[in-house]
Amino acid sequence: MSGKYRFSFGPWNIHEGADPFGPTVRDGIEFAKKLKMYKNLGFDGVQFHDDDAVPDMDNLSAQEIVKKAKEVRAMLDGEGLAAEFVAPRLWEDARTIDGAYTANDPACREYAKDRSRRTIDIAAALETRLIVLWLAREGTYIREAKDSSVAVEQIVEAINGMLAYNPDIRIAIEPKPNEPMDQAYIPTTGHAIAVSFMTDAPQRVGVNIESAHAILAGLDPSDEMGFALAYNKLFTVHLNDQNGLKFDEDKSFGAVDLRRAFNQVRILDRYDYGAAGEFVGLDVKAMRTQKQSVATKHLANSREIFLRLVKVARSIDNKTVNQLIADRDYEELDMLIVDHLMGK
Ligand code: 3MF
Ligand code: MG
């Protein structure tokens, strides 16, 4: 329990505040300027969607895409930053309206696979081996639209194609139970890990656990992490917070339920998360009310809360904890934890 942590976020985490019911409320910040903000905020890693690195990539050749990605690699070098992962953005193009790997139209599925290969090329150029797959539209609005068993085969086939395309990459599936779909096909960590064992290289397929996504599935994020850790499959995390079952809020880590955040930090720290190079990834959004000049506080605050909770986790009186467990006095253990969280 002595690890040092490195933090990452994606450029989409500094955003203009549009929501489904209203337009942007802050000016956009160009990518190069965002990169300059990372170190000052205490971050060393950049999470990418493929088109965060190479905008308009669907209109570029494979060679042009790699050339552009290498320019971004040079920008990262200039700022002393690492690329943590690249994720194919498979939810905005017209060809992904009905899903990507599980679209009913084979031409659309082919587009998704080709786009994923370009994503892998970008990752190689950015010098990261990690691909994140948020399977945004792999699911349905109505059950009758697709076959949920065939869908699993299609997802496995797509992953196998990616694993074969570049033998260096590792894939972290980011499960989420709903939004934008009514029901997603890979809603939880357990589903994602089960899928990994259907692939040609299970050891190269793991998970990215997002706190809010676990909460939306009615699950405890720290238990989801523990499950993935038991399988050696916690490739990265998307820490944030979520106030109950509603839209995906991406609140600052620990801002809703400090004890739930504490338990995530505690299990990560206990299992030396980060020792194999994993980043503490955030996926947090500033509130729409936040003014331009202070619209990165959610990032610095989430990091600060994480680090403070590391101290809290490490300073627990484990002897007493173990004694209370042995005595099965969980009421007293409950009080000890709450006392400790309140600084006693
Ligand atoms: C959606 C998400 C996504 C993914 C991102 C990287 C936009 O709920 O969490 O954020 O994290 O696409 O895979
Ligand atoms: Mg996420």
Q: Running along the chain, 344 residues long, what does each successive block of 10 average in pLDDT?
A: 83 98 98 98 98 98 98 98 99 98 98 99 99 98 98 98 99 98 98 99 99 98 99 99 97 98 98 98 98 98 98 98 98 98 95
Q: Which domains are delineated in the chain?
A: 7-315 (3.20.20.150)
How far, in Å, CA of 151 to CA of 207, rounded? 19
Q: Rounded to two decimals, what is the model's pTM?
A: 0.97
Q: DSSP 3-state assignment of 144?
A: helix
> Would you call 213 a catalytic residue per the annotation?
no
Nearest alpha carbon, ligand 1 atom 10: 283
CA 93, 96, 98, 104 torsion-angle sign: positive
How far, in Å, CA of 288 to CA of 338, rounded? 32
How far, in Å, CA of 72 to CA of 122, rounded? 10
Q: Which of 311, 292, 250, 223 is nearest to 4 (CA)?
A: 311
Count helices and strands (H / E) in the chain: 12, 10
Q: Among residues 19, 44, 50, 52, which one is catalytic?
A: 52
How far, in Å, CA of 215 to CA of 213, rounded? 5
Q: Is 219:192 a contact under the CB 8 Å cutoff? A: no
Span from the CA of 331 to the centroid of ligand 2 (angstroms): 35
**52 in contact with ligand 1, CB cutoff 6 A:** no
Query: How many residues are present in the chain?
Result: 344
What is the β-pairing status of strands 139-140 and 205-210? unpaired
| CA dist list (Å): 35 to 30, 83, 87, 236, 261 | 9, 11, 18, 21, 27
Q: Among residues 49, 191, 213, 238, which one is catalytic?
A: 49
- The residue whose two tokens read 């503490």 is 280
E strands along 167-259, which residues? 170-173, 183-184, 205-210, 234-238
Tokens (6 digits) for 277 = 């190079």
pLDDT at position 3 is 63
pLDDT at position 1 is 42
